[in-house]
Amino acid sequence: MLPNLTNPKHFKMSDINKLQNNAEGAEEINNTNNELNNTESTNNTSAEVDDFESTVNSKEESNLKESDDVDKLPNETDTKDEEITEEKASATENDEVINEIEESNAEDAEDEGNKERHTIEVKEYDSMSLEALAIELEKLLKTEKVQAIKKHVDSINGEFKTKFQALIDEKKEEFLNDGGNEIDFYYSSPVQKRFKEAHREYRKKLNDHYKSLEQNLKQNLADKLEIIEELKGLLNLEENINTTYKHFKELQERWRNTGPIPRDKYNNAWNSYHHHVEMFYDFLHLNRDLRDLDFKHNLEKKLLIIERAEELAKDDDAMRSFRELQELHKMWKEELGPVGREHREEIWERFKAATKIINDKRQVYYKEIDKIYEKNLENKLEIIAKIDALNTQQTNSHGGWQKRIKEVEELRDQFFNAGKVPIKVNEATWAKFKDAVRTFNRQKNAFYKGLKKDQYKNLQLKLDLIKVAEDNKESEDFETVTPLMKKIQSDWKKIGHVPRKDSDKIWKRFKAACNYYFDRIHSKRNAASQEQVEAYNKKNGFLTSLKDLKLPKDKEKGVEILKEQIKQWQSIGRVPNDKRYIDGKFQKTIDGLLTTLKVDKTEAEMIKYENKLDSLVNPDDTKNLDNERNYIRKKIDEVKGQINQLENNLQFFTNVDEDNPLVKEVHTNIKKHKQDLDVWKAKLKKIKGFY
């Protein structure tokens, strides 16, 4: 039964051994002259190779010349030259693909434990945030072998540095806009610290890995060179051919079991090894049946590899097919021996043909990727153009600049999420983007530097208000200072922005001074409230006792008693605002008692007013008395105006009887207003007596 080739990783020496019972060799020689450096044994081998090849090449050249003489007709010369040129170009292209595969396998061979290098998912690191990049790096370190993630880590590290530098530039501009000095700028963030720790761990693990690997690689190389030397010695042994062949098989097994070697020695070592294996077969004149059986089994196995390659050539997943093709080339070279000379060129050309088809599909895939990259480039250039367009706009307000800043931040995010661009224009595109953003930032900085001047003026204005607040916060003149404190609070709101670094500090000073003052007022009011409650209780009791007051029949004595009652009432003090109705009750009670003394309204009003004036008079401060005088004059003017209006209204009632209800009402109102006018004039005269 043929081995399963669906997964080439299972197609190893265990499968080959089922088909082979005897001989096993190595791969055909791509470059027999590549020898290991700095080894005397290899130099000796090169001499043997030259002797052997000179014989073979002379025969091949003779055959080629004879073939050319027969096949090449005079009129076909140009056509033949073109065909040869095309063949050379095709061969060169194939050689490049083969070399690429061999270089990749050589890298893989340096560490045989690294078998999953091609299966790690390559994510769109350019669209990730800083935090997402740090998390992805930590995840790779935790789940993958350190030697397998170098390309991933390099990509992640590059993206992180680019995005973090952009963030630093932004923070630096903010710092400078706030009045900071460039030499004092410093910025770090938790995500930066997190990424640095992960990257530091990666470098440590990688160094530890290579330190442990280096010694093993050197020893394995020495072991393989020793095997090559022993292979060379087999040609000169004078012993039974079966014993020699058994020794040969043991050397092959030792070669396979020897661990990885340095990648820069990989191809030379394999080529030298295969060369000496073929030398052994070519000079093995005895027991040709055994050799032919070995060739047959190797041919069968290589045909299976070719068939699998041809199946992969039909697969639509170009990248997956190419990865598996690398494994097939590795098996062809490392695990299989030579075939008969008559088949070598044929099967190798067939294998190369399948390789070319798979590689062509890979190139088509890359071209499709290039189209995506070109589209990403278009998007990024459009984003840069939008930023350039914003740079041409004129903005002269803080609000306008905040809007533009938000737009540029959105465009920056779009740029970073737009995906990769062709590598040949990557640096140029990034430079254009940085230049556009830098131009925007310069314009923004210029605006805010100008704004700084206004902000420092505003700062001085607010400092002046703070001084007023702090100078008056201890004042006891609440009536004068309270309006002042309210005014400076209103003025504070009207003053514009100040530098951000001072904003909180001065606001706290101003607020503290204002709060201190108003807290004192509130504490005074709370104390006064208790006094007012007590005053209300006293007035309530006083009012109750007043109802039982008995006045003498003598009018003057009765008036004097009532004046004394009024003084006592006023001496009790103010009551809470919601209890002031008790003053009205007192006035009604006094009015009733004055009525019993047959005192007219004007005289009664003046009796009550005299007591009010006594409370207003202050030899050191006439402010309250002045306010009262101004108030009375205003009332006199209002009453006179009302009387004039009513008298003018009477002119409209021509030829109307005096008994008409409307006319009578107007006369009544005029009379009432004149009485009020006499009272206000008497009050004004009374006030003038205090000056």
Q: Please give the Cα distance from 65 to 73 (Å, whole number).
A: 13
Report if residue 656 sits inside a domain. Answer: yes
User: What are the helix (H) ranges across 473-598?
Assistant: 478-494, 500-546, 555-572, 581-596
Beta carbons of 575 and 586 less than 8 angstroms apart? no
Identify whether residues 150 and 220 lie together within a single domain: no
- Cα separations in angstroms, 396 against 390, 443, 445, 450: 14, 11, 12, 10
Q: How many residues does the chain have?
A: 691
Q: What is the pLDDT of residue 178?
A: 67
Q: What is the pLDDT of residue 508?
A: 93
Q: Please give the Cα distance from 317 to 564 (Å, whole number).
A: 115
For residue 658, give the DSSP letter: T
Residue 49: give the domain boundaries. Answer: 8-53+86-110+216-368
Considering only CA atoms, which of 382, 376, 377, 303 is closest in space to residue 344? 303
Identify whether residues 344 and 470 lie together within a single domain: no
Identify whether residues 91 and 138 lie together within a single domain: no
Beta carbons of 670 and 622 less than 8 angstroms apart? no
Identify whether residues 106 and 135 lie together within a single domain: no
Q: Please give the Cα distance from 286 to 305 (Å, whole number).
A: 30
Report if residue 418 sits inside a domain. Answer: no
Beta carbons of 45 and 35 less than 8 angstroms apart? yes
Beta carbons of 118 and 411 less than 8 angstroms apart? no
Q: What type of residue is 282?
A: D
Q: Which residue has the tokens 């004007």?
A: 602
Beta carbons of 457 and 498 less than 8 angstroms apart? no
Q: What is the pLDDT of residue 664?
A: 82
Q: What is the pLDDT of residue 217?
A: 85
Q: Please give the Cα distance from 361 to 350 (Å, whole number).
A: 17
Q: What is the pLDDT of residue 301?
A: 92
Q: Give me the DSSP letters along 343-400.
A: HHHHHHHHHHHHHHHHHHHHHHHHHHHHHHHHHHHHHHHHHHHHHHHHHT----SHHH
Q: What is the pLDDT of residue 109?
A: 56
Beta carbons of 13 and 256 less than 8 angstroms apart? yes
Instruction: Tell me the whole-structure pTM to 2 decimals.
Output: 0.42
Q: Give me the DSSP letters along 585-620.
A: HHHHHHHHHHHHTT--HHHHHHHHHHHHHHHH--TT
**Exposed e or buried b for every residue in 18-33, given b needs 16+ CB within 10 A?**
eebeebbbbbbbbebe
Considering only CA atoms, which of 348, 356, 252 is closest in space to residue 302? 348
Identify whether residues 502 and 361 lie together within a single domain: no
Report if residue 599 sits inside a domain. Answer: no
Task: Please state the φ and ψ torsions of residue 169, each to the nearest 5 degrees.
Answer: -60, -40
Q: Tell me if residue 12 falls in helix, strand or coil.
A: coil
The Cα diameter of the chain in Å comes to 170
Report if residue 645 sits inside a domain. Answer: yes
Q: Please give the Cα distance from 43 to 37 (Å, whole number).
A: 9
Considering only CA atoms, which of 234, 237, 247, 242 is closest in space to residue 279? 234
Q: What type of residue is 473?
A: K
Identify whether residues 265 and 153 lie together within a single domain: no
Beta carbons of 245 and 283 less than 8 angstroms apart? no
Considering only CA atoms, which of 508, 516, 510 is closest in space to residue 491? 510
**Domain-terminating residue out of 368, 390, 410:** 368
Q: What type of residue is 148?
A: A
Q: Tell me if residue 411 falls in helix, strand or coil.
A: helix
**Domain-terminating residue out of 137, 167, 187:** 187
Report if residue 429 sits inside a domain. Answer: no
Identify whether residues 324 and 300 lie together within a single domain: yes
E strands, 166-324, are: none
Q: Which residue has the tokens 């060179």?
A: 225
**Domain-terminating residue out of 353, 368, 383:** 368
Beta carbons of 113 and 145 less than 8 angstroms apart? yes
Counting as low any pLDDT under 50, the low residues of the chain are 1-89, 113-118, 286
Report if residue 691 sits inside a domain. Answer: yes
Identify whether residues 325 and 258 lie together within a single domain: yes
Number of domains, the chain? 4
Q: Which two tokens stand for residue 102?
A: 């061999």
Report if residue 428 sits inside a domain. Answer: no
Q: Please give the Cα distance from 133 to 129 (Å, whole number).
A: 6
Beta carbons of 247 and 210 less than 8 angstroms apart? no
Beta carbons of 687 and 613 less than 8 angstroms apart? yes
Q: What is the pLDDT of residue 33?
A: 28
Identify whether residues 359 and 470 lie together within a single domain: no
Identify whether residues 166 and 251 lie together within a single domain: no
Identify whether residues 129 and 106 lie together within a single domain: no
Distance of CA 596 to the CA centre of its chain: 90
Report if residue 267 sits inside a domain. Answer: yes
Considering only CA atoms, which of 375, 373, 407, 377 is closest in space to residue 389? 407
Identify whether residues 356 and 230 lie together within a single domain: yes
